[in-house]
């Protein structure tokens, strides 16, 4: 049973106000990297598109564990860092 509020939040099309590229790696950048690999801007867009309240994360690190792409195939991620330093500058950070 989903709460009414989260349902409305997920349906509301929230657009980012601005965007910049990540300068250095962090936990947030790691998760953004994972969402962007799977074809989403970030967690906000993922939850809107997939109509889910929760994203499955590794309890040890808090990194995203599994994402469903728009074509419904799944991406599975390691519990450790996957976004290498040379990839960090490609990660887009959206500001709402």
pLDDT tens for 62-78 read 999 999 999 999 999 99
- What total of structural domains would you count in the chain? 1
The range of the structural domain enclosing residue 73 comes to 18-95
The pLDDT, as a whole number, for residue 12 is: 61
Evaluate whether 31 touches 66 at the Cβ level (below 8 Å): no
The pLDDT, as a whole number, for residue 64 is: 98
Domain contains 40:
yes
User: DSSP state, 80?
Assistant: S
Residue 64 CA to residue 34 CA, distance in Å, equals 7
The pLDDT, as a whole number, for residue 14 is: 76
Domain contains 83:
yes
Domain contains 13:
no
The closest of 13, 9, 24 to 91, measured between CA atoms, is 24
Evaluate whether 36 touches 73 at the Cβ level (below 8 Å): no
Q: What is the mean pLDDT of the chain?
A: 90
When pLDDT is averaged across residues 44-66 and rounded to a whole number, the result is: 96
Binned at pLDDT 50, 70 and 90, residue 16 comes out as: confident
Task: Assess whether pLDDT exceeds 90 at residue 90.
Answer: yes
């Amino acid at each position: 049973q989903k709460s009414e509020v989260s349902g409305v939040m997920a349906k509301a099309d929230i657009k980012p106000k601005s965007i910049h590229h990540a300068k250095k790696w962090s936990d947030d950048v790691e998760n953004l990297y994972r969402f962007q690999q799977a074809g989403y801007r970030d967690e906000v867009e993922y939850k809107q598109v997939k109509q889910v309240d929760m994203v499955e994360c590794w309890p040890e690190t808090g990194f995203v564990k599994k994402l469903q792409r728009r074509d419904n195939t799944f991406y599975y991620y390691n519990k450790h860092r996957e976004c290498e330093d040379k990839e960090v500058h490609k990660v887009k950070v959206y500001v709402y």
